[in-house]
Amino acid sequence: MGHKPVVCAAASVIPVPSAGSTDTDSQALLDALRADGHVREQAIADLHGLLLRGARFEVRRRRAMMRAWDGDDLDDLALQSADDALVAVLAKLDAFEGRSRFTTWAYKFVLLETAVKLRRRPWQGRELPLEPEQWPRHADPRASPTDDAERTELLAAVRRAIDDELTPHQREVLVAVALNDVPIDVLAERKDTTRGALYKTIHDARRSLRRRLEAEGLVPASDKGEPR
Amino acid sequence: MSTDRDDLLSRLLGPVGPELTCEQCFDELDRYVEAELAGGQGHADAQIPGMHAHLDGCLACREEHDSLFALVQSET
């Protein structure tokens, strides 16, 4: 049938759509979430179960990639992410246009909440490296001598362009995120701004670098557009 | 062969061509992933121009895309 019970098969009265289900299933859950009384309460419980499943999926996925993580409080983090995503999904319910399955739409909120919390976790209490730290100094043994020389020349030109062409803010943001691997969400939190605002800064900085490199004949001319 | 220097240059210089913003990426992410699963990346790119370039340029959005793709795929 394409329906999956979310929290408990016996308790769930709303057919929460699975990835293989139909638009009709999404509409049924939406209708229940927009209803009153017990129907809405049950739908919210089911939605929370769905979001918690997504949060735990993300925790497992990232934990597998970062085995050194202490996992004692990761389920708490998953639960908090599901709670926060539930608030976000309910607040934006009217924005759901049915252009995807409701499940997929709702999952993206909880994956965002979980990912941001997990990215911030290892940086808690740490000072952010905002000055260049990781410029490669040695030849890359995997590259041919010709390629390595070209890369060395291009990297040197990029370093000069970063110093000459970027504003202090652009330089700080690009260096922190692109060179020093500071997660953009961590930097956004410290600077009291958003991922989108910082990415716009990075985008503008990259355009300035490319213009300089194109003028120097080091990269082909590009049709670099604005973010839409 | 992609090298560390290629990766660094890619991170510093970003994608070539117009790209979505992070906000637009989030708005379209569910539709893009479903289009990918239904018809492949080329199909999804045709549906939502600028998404692929943004995912190349923004590591955080890329990670969330990869997670959503994996999660939805796991339930299909």
Q: What is the ipTM of this complex?
A: 0.94
| d(C-alpha B5, C-alpha A161), whole Å | 17
Q: Name the nearest CA neighbour of A82 among A111, A61, A104, A102.
A: A111
Q: What is the mean pLDDT of residues A53-70?
A: 83
Tell me the percentage of chain B whose pLDDT exceeds 90. Answer: 84
Cβ-nearest to B21 among A19, A155, A228: A228
Q: Is the pLDDT of residue A4 over 70?
A: no
CATH of A23-123, one of 1.20.1740, 1.10.1740, 1.20.950, 2.60.40: 1.10.1740
State the smallest CA–CA distance between residue A36 and chain B in angstroms.
28
Cα-based distances in Å from B68 to A19, A57, A224? 11, 10, 28
Q: Is the pLDDT of residue A114 over 90?
A: yes
Question: What is the structure's pLDDT at A137?
Answer: 64
Question: What is the structure's pLDDT at B75?
Answer: 87
> What average pLDDT does chain B have?
94
Torsion-angle region of B7 (φ positive above 0: left; ψ -120 to 50: alpha; else: beta): alpha
Q: Is the pLDDT of residue A1 over 60?
A: no
E strands present in A104-194: none
Contact A112/B64, CB-based, under 8 Å? yes
Task: Give the three-class secondary structure for A15.
Answer: coil
Q: In chain A, what are the domain boundaries?
A: 23-123, 127-228
Is there a contact between A140 and A148 (Cβ–Cβ < 8 Å)? Answer: yes
Phi, psi torsion values for A180, nearest 5 degrees: -100, 5
Phi, psi torsion values for A3, nearest 5 degrees: -100, 140
State the smallest CA–CA distance between residue B44 and chain A in angstroms.
13
Q: Chain B within 8 Å of A178 (Cβ-Cβ)?
A: yes
Q: Is the pLDDT of residue A69 over 80?
A: no
Instruction: Please provide the CATH number assigned to the domain covering A127-228.
Output: 1.10.10.10
Q: Is the pLDDT of residue A126 over 60?
A: yes
Whole-prediction pTM value?
0.86
B37-59 residue pLDDT tens? 999 999 999 999 999 999 999 99
